[in-house]
Chain A
Amino acid sequence: MIQMQRITKNYRLGELDVPVLKGIDLSIAPGEYVAIMGMSGSGKSTLMNIIGCLDRATSGNYTLNGVDLTTLDDDQLAYIRNQQIGFVFQQFNLLTRSTALENVMLPMVYGGLPLAQRRDRATEVLFKVGLGDRLLNRPSQLSGGQQQRVAIARALVNDPALILADEPTGALDQKTSQEVMGLLAELSQQGITIAIVTHEPDIAHQAQRIIYVQDGLVLNRSHNLVS
């Protein structure tokens, strides 16, 4: 699903080129459920942004679902994000003035689906994450766990190849964290590829494999949790 070879990323800081990623080699198989762990400043956020096509590598090759992303322009990357990747953020990042239904419909707006189809599909996915009775609520009328489930529904709605979750439980309490993690595990069992970025070992251990990032490199001690 994901193939990364010698990915580097430098940031310009005034006169200096600061290397953040120093040659990442990474591969994630279709249907795999991985956790990316690392301390803050390790480069895991930058890695996540590159995996999510929100940012470009300075050098190296990145292939997602068989497509070489190295040469694509901004609009093509937008298309990849729309069609291939579902994002789940720590702060949910829902449009606060729109309803749950409208939020879930948004990726399909940019995907070019007709309105009736958008509404049907969004409703279906919201039912799937257990929010069938909250379609017309705004984020402020939902609990944190419910908001994150809306975000997961939004991530799922375009049938992405990959769900990329950045600290998905970072803003949630113990109980709702487990609900959200349960939902992700369920999706994994349905064969969706999932990558979560986290610094919490408890959360990371619910994935099938942990990839450790340290000082801009992937550590070799990444291990499989299921044999």
Chain B
Amino acid sequence: MSIPSSNHAYSPSMIEVFGMAIDSLRSNRLRTGLTMLGMIIGIGAVITVTSVGRGAQKSVEQQIESLGSNVLTVMAGASSRGGISQGTGSASTLTWEDAKVVAEQVTMADAVSAYLQKVNTQVVYDSKNTTTTIIGTDLNYSKVKNIYPQQGQFFTQDELDAALSVAVLGSKVRDQLFSQENAIGLDIRIQGKRYRVVGVMESKGAGGIQDQDDSVYIPLSTMSAELVGNNALSGIAITGFVLSTQATDQLDAAQFQVSNLLRLRHDIYPPQADDFNIINQVNLISTLGTIISLFTVMVTAIAGISLVVGGIGIANIMLVSVVERTREIGIRKALGATRSAILSQFLVEAVVVSAIGGGIGVVFGIGVSVGASLALSIPLVISADSIVAGLALSVGIGVLAGVIPAQSAAKLDPIVALRSE
């Protein structure tokens, strides 16, 4: 009889080992299921958390984009009466002329739109009513705020000049006042006065200083005459104006020019405080950017923890399974299994379990992500990298968690293993 040298002792091929692993996993369904459950929850959580986190991030980004990243809002400054701040926009420090001069002289300004604002105003149609913000403005408002009518049209220059009682509804106001019928051409009442609806704005979502969808737009001249009690545009105090630039990086320059111009017009010299406030959208974005990056770090940490938990679960069950299967290992060794045959069987079992578990986890994670995006109405973002990372990590953890138990299984003395109960 010839004895093969140690290096050439027969070990089952990879396919054989794979088959044995599958057989063994199938005949121990509970153990296999529990191991996989750890992986499914781990990977599923990683994908879900990453997806929800990125979805929320994208949702915030979209809202900021919809506000326009190239818009300055200039509001009349807070006046102090007896030391009590009256709130931004309540003082009559900005006039229609200020807005007009800014439009003419600030070279960085692409478009300027003056507005008057009255909050908490009741608007009535038929038997329905709602409380909303009335914005009296000019034709540039659409361009500056990048918001356009979805139905009908914005009011015209003629309607503005003639101070006609026409109104454009924000989408939310339309939904609250009108159920099925087309609102265009119907009359609503604002503080007892009739206004004809000429347009309905597209929805932009809440965000920024005010909810653009929860507003009613009327001509600045009409608002000035009816609601504030001033007939002509010239000389009227405005709540503020909005200004847009061609590009985001021109915003700081525009802010500088606007500040200087208004200080000059209002005779303000440092250290005197400005009587106006400028809200810069870019500053808002950078603040939100910081919050979002913190959020992302947190999300990643949570995902990491859930993976570690899944990995510990696998390691645990693998370790227990070696103890439970000591006798099986003894039998296999007595029948001629080499150390490497036992080692590869256990390793392949670990890899197969974690790969299948990881795969189910990916499907599960995608499913939950889709559900979450529908439930939270955030965009569905499932990135390939979280899936690849999840699968790679699950197999990696499977191998790591399998190596130590597999080694101790392979080292078992067949006599000792056979005697175990």
Residues of chain A at the chain B interface (Cβ within 8 Å): 49, 52, 54-55, 65-67, 72-76, 78-84, 87, 89, 93-95, 97-98, 102, 106-107, 109-112, 154
Q: A residues within 8 A CB of B273? A: none
Q: Return B295 CB to nearest CB of chain A, in Å.
A: 48
Contact across chains for A109 and B334 when beta carbons are under 8 A apart: no
Contact across chains for A89 and B338 when beta carbons are under 8 A apart: no
Give Cα A154 to B337, complex, Å: 14
Contact across chains for B9 and A89 when beta carbons are under 8 A apart: no
Q: Return A80 CB to nearest CB of chain B, in Å.
A: 7
Closest 3 CB pairs of A and B: A82-B336, A97-B27, A75-B9
Q: B residues within 8 A CB of A109? A: 12, 16, 20
Q: A residues within 8 A CB of B415? A: 49, 54-55
Give Cα A179 to B340, complex, Å: 38
Give Cα A81 to B333, complex, Å: 9
Would A79 and B334 be within 8 Å (CB), given that A49-B415, A93-B327 are in contact? no
Q: Which of A84, A87, A93, A98 is most buried by chain B, counting CB atoms within 10 A of its CB? A: A93
Q: B residues within 8 A CB of A67? A: 1, 3
Smallest CB-CB separation from A102: which chain B residue? B23
Q: Return B388 CB to nearest CB of chain A, in Å.
A: 35
Chain A to chain B contacts (Cβ below 8 Å), 12 pairs: A54-B414, A75-B338, A75-B340, A76-B3, A78-B338, A80-B3, A95-B331, A107-B335, A109-B12, A110-B341, A111-B10, A111-B336
Contact across chains for A54 and B4 when beta carbons are under 8 A apart: no
Smallest CB-CB separation from B28: which chain A residue? A97
Contact across chains for A112 and B335 when beta carbons are under 8 A apart: no
Smallest CB-CB separation from A138: which chain B residue? B27
CB of B6 within 8 Å of the partner chain: yes
Within 8 A of A (CB), among B1-50: 1, 3-6, 9-10, 12, 16, 20, 23-24, 27-28
Q: Return A153 CB to nearest CB of chain B, in Å.
A: 13
Not counting A95-B328, A112-B10, a sample of 20 additional A-B residue pairs whose C-beta atoms are within 8 angstroms of each other reads: A54-B415, A75-B9, A76-B5, A79-B4, A79-B9, A81-B334, A81-B336, A82-B10, A87-B334, A89-B418, A93-B327, A93-B330, A97-B28, A98-B27, A102-B23, A106-B332, A106-B335, A109-B20, A110-B10, A110-B336
Give Cα A52 to B28, complex, Å: 30
Q: Which of A78, A79, A98, A106 is most buried by chain B, counting CB atoms within 10 A of its CB? A: A78
Q: Return A118 CB to nearest CB of chain B, in Å.
A: 10
Would A76 and B6 be within 8 Å (CB), given that A87-B335, A93-B327, A106-B335 are in contact? yes
Smallest CB-CB separation from A97: which chain B residue? B27
Q: B residues within 8 A CB of A75? A: 6, 9, 338-340
Within 8 A of A (CB), among B348-371: none
Give Cα A79 to B5, complex, Å: 10
Q: A residues within 8 A CB of B327? A: 93
Give Cα A84 to B338, complex, Å: 15
Q: Which of A55, A65, A78, A154 contacts B9 (CB 8 A)?
A: A78
Give Cα A110 to B16, complex, Å: 10
Smallest CB-CB separation from A72: which chain B residue? B3
Give Cα A87 to B330, complex, Å: 12
Give Cα A1 to B128, complex, Å: 106
Smallest CB-CB separation from B26: which chain A residue? A97
Give Cα A174 to B333, complex, Å: 31
Give Cα A94 to B330, complex, Å: 11
Smallest CB-CB separation from B328: which chain A residue? A95
Q: A residues within 8 A CB of B9? A: 75-76, 78-79
Q: A residues within 8 A CB of B336? A: 78-79, 81-83, 107, 110-111
Q: Return A9 CB to nearest CB of chain B, in Å.
A: 12
Q: B residues within 8 A CB of A111? A: 10, 336
Q: Return A210 CB to nearest CB of chain B, in Å.
A: 24
Give Cα A154 to B335, complex, Å: 9
Q: Return B236 CB to nearest CB of chain A, in Å.
A: 89
Give Cα A84 to B418, complex, Å: 19
Would A93 and B4 be within 8 Å (CB), given that A54-B415, A75-B9, A110-B341 are in contact? no
Contact across chains for B337 and A78 when beta carbons are under 8 A apart: yes
Within 8 A of A (CB), among B204-223: none
Give Cα A10 to B230, complex, Å: 114
Give Cα A60 to B303, complex, Å: 61
Would A98 and B23 be within 8 Å (CB), given that A67-B1, A73-B6, A81-B334 are in contact? yes
Q: Return B415 CB to nearest CB of chain A, in Å.
A: 5
Contact across chains for A65 and B6 when beta carbons are under 8 A apart: no
Contact across chains for B1 and A84 when beta carbons are under 8 A apart: yes
Q: Which of B9, B27, B335 is most buried by chain A, counting CB atoms within 10 A of its CB? A: B335
Give Cα A81 to B418, complex, Å: 15
Smallest CB-CB separation from B5: which chain A residue? A76
Q: Which of B327, B341, B418 is most buried by chain A, counting CB atoms within 10 A of its CB? A: B418
Q: Which of B327, B332, B414 is most buried by chain A, counting CB atoms within 10 A of its CB? A: B414
Contact across chains for B333 and A112 when beta carbons are under 8 A apart: no
